[in-house]
Amino acid sequence: MKTKALLIVGVVAFALLMIQGRIVEKSESQKTIKSDTATINYSGKIKVIIDNKCYGCHNSNTRAIKARNKLNWDSLALISKVNQISKLDKVIETLDKGEMPPKQFLERKPEGKLTDDEITALKGWAQKTSDALMK
């Protein structure tokens, strides 16, 4: 029951965000998330990596509650700038430790493994974005 309630809250929050126009699709190759305090852009290679390797578990509609609670791409714009920076810094830390994707996930879906180039690109993007948010 609690899971369904959380899912409903997530879907409603995302719908409200869409209605308010805070998520703006610029094109298939670029996405911008706007919040009251910050804007996070990801496009090109980064968007492809996130869409193909991250978004499946880190979104508002996932059944992977633990993953959604740690990082939810759909609600990133709803959290404070400080928390956005914290989430991006955690992405870097998690990638440095080799903890994403988790081993259990890779046993079922080995194609989900991040390549060294993808890890480098994500870490670089997260660091650059985090630094920009701190300004």
Token pair of 84 as six digits? 């956005």
Q: When comparing pLDDT for 9 and 84, which is higher?
A: 84
- Model confidence at 93, in pLDDT bands (50, 70, 90)? very high
pLDDT for the residue 16: 47
Query: How many angstroms separate the CA atoms of 55 and 85, rounded?
Result: 19
CB 35 within 8 A of CB 27: no
Give the span between the Cα atoms of 88 and 91, in whole angstroms. 5
| Short-list 91, 67, 74, 84, CA closest to 31 | 74
pLDDT band at 124 (very low <50, low <70, confident <90, very high): very high
Q: Which residues contact 92 (CB under 8 A, 6 or more apart)?
A: 123, 126, 127, 130
CA nearest 46: which of 88, 94, 98?
88
Task: Tell me how crowded residue 33 is: count the other CB atoms within 10 A of its CB.
Answer: 20
Question: What is residue 131's predicted lDDT score, i.e. its pLDDT?
Answer: 93
Range 98-117 average pLDDT: 95
How far, in Å, CA of 33 to CA of 14, rounded? 12
Query: What percent of the chain has pLDDT above 70?
Result: 71
Q: Which of 122, 9, 34 is nearest to 84 (CA)?
A: 34
Continuous segment of H or E residues that includes residue 32: strand 30-34
